[in-house]
């Protein structure tokens, strides 16, 4: 009889930090984000096609969502009001259209990077 050695699986030290979903249906955009601190979510009417668009990314380039430009500017203003240093760039895209990029650092999670399809500043400084 041969003794069998049961291999020990490697210990995985990674942990899930957050999970989320964005759903667009019936004229509404619903977001849900779960973290160890709790659950947050929103349900808003879908944005009009004429409103300037924004896209939210994390530092890995993953798309987090598509807020309106005003919602993105409000998030940036809230971060500045909370004392966070926000890095901003005003550039033009390949088609020559204005683009406002803003990075909100988050030491506890992933940074939020907004790409807003206009040049309007988020906060008067």
**CA distance linking residue 33 with residue 38, whole number of Å:** 8
pTM exceeds 0.85, yes or no: no
- Summarize the confidence of residues 94-112 as an average pLDDT: 85
Rounded average pLDDT over 11-17 = 58
Q: In the chain, what are the domains?
A: 17-46 (no CATH), 49-125 (3.40.1840)
Q: What is the pLDDT of residue 93?
A: 78
pLDDT-derived band at 92, boundaries 50, 70, 90: confident
Q: What is the CA radius of gyration of the chain?
A: 20
């Amino acid at each position: 009889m041969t003794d069998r050695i049961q291999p020990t699986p490697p210990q995985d030290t990674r942990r899930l930090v957050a999970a989320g979903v964005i759903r667009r249906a019936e004229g509404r955009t619903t977001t849900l984000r779960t973290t160890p601190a709790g659950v947050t979510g929103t349900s808003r009417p879908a944005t009009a096609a004429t409103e300037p668009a924004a896209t939210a990314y994390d530092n890995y380039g993953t798309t987090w969502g598509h807020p309106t430009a005003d919602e993105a500017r409000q998030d940036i203003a809230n971060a500045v009001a909370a004392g966070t240093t926000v890095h901003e760039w005003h550039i033009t895209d390949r088609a020559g259209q204005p683009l406002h990029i803003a990075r909100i650092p988050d030491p506890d999670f992933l940074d939020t990077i907004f790409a807003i399809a206009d040049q309007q500043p988020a906060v008067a400084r």
